[in-house]
Amino acid sequence: MSRIATVRGREVLDSRGRPTVEAEVVLDDGVRVHASVPSGASTGRHEAHELRDGDLSRYRGRGVRTAVANVRDLLEPAVAGLDPTRQEEVDAALIAADGTPEKSRAGANAVLAVSLAVARAGACSRGIPLWQHLIGDEDPVMPRPMINLISGGLHARRNLDLQDFLIVPVGAATYPEALEASSAVIEATGEILRERGLSTLHADEGGFGPALAGHRDALELAATAVERAGLRLGDDVAFALDVAATHFQDPATGLYDLTAEGRVVDAAGMVDLLEGWMREFPIVSIEDPLAEDDWDGWKLASERLGRSAQVVGDDLFTTNATRLRRGVRDGAANSVLVKMNQIGTLSETLALAELARAAGYGIVVSARSGETEDDALADLAVAARGGQIKVGSLTQSERLAKYNRLLRILDEVGPHTALPRWEWAWAR
């Protein structure tokens, strides 16, 4: 059996050019691997703590030197000598070494980098792919991608309040077909934007970030693009939204300030607006329709929108079991977004996916808006068996690392190549 010999951290850059943490793990059998962690922009208040340096002289205070030092000083002593194939033991040791509920002492960025690097080392020393190492005896499930087409909110800083307009290739039976349909819609969107004299520049996750007339304009643009690509709206390709409503809720009043609509609405008003769009357009998944602590609003959203769409909690749940249990008890949603760095270890992430599965919740494994070229997310999505992944657009290498890793995984999963059937139909 191999043992963890050394663990070191280093600073690498993410897709916004900001520093993030990479951990390198060396085993006593000679295996040497690294893993790096992503970083969000529209982060939820209940996420695990990403440790950033307070020193404003470098990277305007966004450095991760302390987190990097913690990998060596706090975390290496906790896991050195452990068996890298026993992920839960390793993660328990990391959690104990940090000792805080939000992983604020070591930094969730330091903890997750080590957790992921150890998993990769364990897979390497067993000579099997990472997804297989994580999945145990279960069958792998290829994930259907939901792909960012148009960005607004904090990712594009244009005039749309909603953060993501995504396409879901609901009719695709296989992952390559899903990519092909999505790529055709992205190209058609670019064409239409050029014809309209609008910008085709990309936002943080590679989606288009044009100055559109409003949210309805974005939905119409997406619908036209699907048709121009020769695909059937709602049958081949449907839509998903990440409203990311926390970021336009007025903290003083609890109301939602939709600049692009020229309206301030309460939770019921938000639901009315979304319901109206759902009747007109094939929206089959809605993430964060309301703010992270608006539990009553979420109940209403899930009653009304959840009949025909996936209602996904991202900022609401922050990959946190306590919050997910509350959501299940209160009927606040019917699906959960799973982001490793919201909770900080791989074992806790996989346990959260199990909890969601047991509750009959949908599971969408998601990247962050600041990503690195690390591709472990693809393996996680297959191992989490939720059948869905959200990574951004198809146009940037930090996203392609995951999309292309899934194409390689397709050659590793034996007979399990089909995508699970898409459950939600457009309620026209």
Ligand X SMILES: O=C(O)[C@@H](CO)OP(=O)(O)O
Chain positions contacting ligand X, by CB under 6 A: 40-43, 163-164, 205, 242, 244, 314, 366, 368-369
Check whether 103 is labelled as a binding-site residue: no
DSSP three-state, residue 61: helix
The active-site residue out of 47, 50, 76, 205 is 205
Between residues 129 and 403, which has the closer beta carbon with respect to ligand X? 403
For residues 155 and 153, give the distance between their C-alpha atoms in angstroms, rounded to a whole number: 5
Between residues 144 and 368, which has the closer beta carbon with respect to Mg ion? 368
Q: Point out which span in 66-74, 165-173, 216-224, 308-316 binds Mg ion (CB under 5 A).
A: 308-316
Check whether 393 is labelled as a binding-site residue: no
Between residues 31 and 35, which has the closer beta carbon with respect to ligand X? 35
Active site residue 205: yes
Between residues 43 and 345, which has the closer beta carbon with respect to ligand X? 43
Check whether 339 is labelled as a binding-site residue: yes
166 residue type, one letter: L
Check whether 402 is labelled as a binding-site residue: no
DSSP three-state, residue 332: coil
* Minimum CB distance to Mg ion, residue 193 (Å): 24
Instruction: Find the binder of Mg ion among 242, 294, 348, 379 (CB under 5 A).
Output: 242
For residues 277 and 279, give the distance between their C-alpha atoms in angstroms, rounded to a whole number: 5
* Minimum CB distance to Mg ion, residue 3 (Å): 39
Between residues 164 and 236, which has the closer beta carbon with respect to ligand X? 164
The active-site residue out of 22, 24, 103, 339 is 339
Q: Per residue, what are the HEC states of 287-335?
A: ECCCCCCCHHHHHHHHHHCCCCCEEEECCCCCCCHHHHHHHHHHCCCCE
Name the binder of 368 from Mg ion, ligand X, none, CB < 5-8 A by kind.
ligand X
For residues 321 and 343, give the distance between their C-alpha atoms in angstroms, rounded to a whole number: 9
Check whether 242 is labelled as a binding-site residue: yes
Active site residue 280: no
Extract the tokens encoding 321.
Answer: 């079991």
**Strand (E) or helix (H) holding 390:** strand 388-392
* Minimum CB distance to ligand X, residue 396 (Å): 13
Q: Per residue, what are the HEC states of 77-98?
A: HHHCCCCCCCHHHHHHHHHHHH
CA nearest neighbour of 389 among 243, 285, 303: 285
* Minimum CB distance to ligand X, residue 246 (Å): 9
Between residues 129 and 392, which has the closer beta carbon with respect to ligand X? 392
Instruction: List C-alpha distances in Å: 88 to 92, 119, 197, 346.
Output: 6, 10, 53, 8
292 binds Mg ion (CB under 5 A): no
Place of tokens 């703590």: 49
Within a 10 A sphere around the Cβ of 420, how many other Cβ atoms? 13
Name the residue with the smallest CB distance to ligand X.
40
Contact 253, 300 (CB under 8 A): no
Name the binder of 161 from Mg ion, ligand X, none, CB < 5-8 A by kind.
none
* Minimum CB distance to ligand X, residue 109 (Å): 13
Instruction: List C-alpha distances in Å: 282 to 226, 306, 343, 423, 424.
Output: 11, 14, 32, 13, 10
* Minimum CB distance to Mg ion, residue 53 (Å): 26
Extract the tokens encoding 250.
Answer: 């007025």
Give the interface with Mg ion as residue ranges (CB under 5 A).
Answer: 242, 314
Supply the residues annotated as catalytic: 205, 339
Annotated binding-site residue numbers for (2R)-2-phosphoglycerate: 163, 339, 368-369, 390
Annotated binding-site residue numbers for Mg(2+): 242, 287, 314
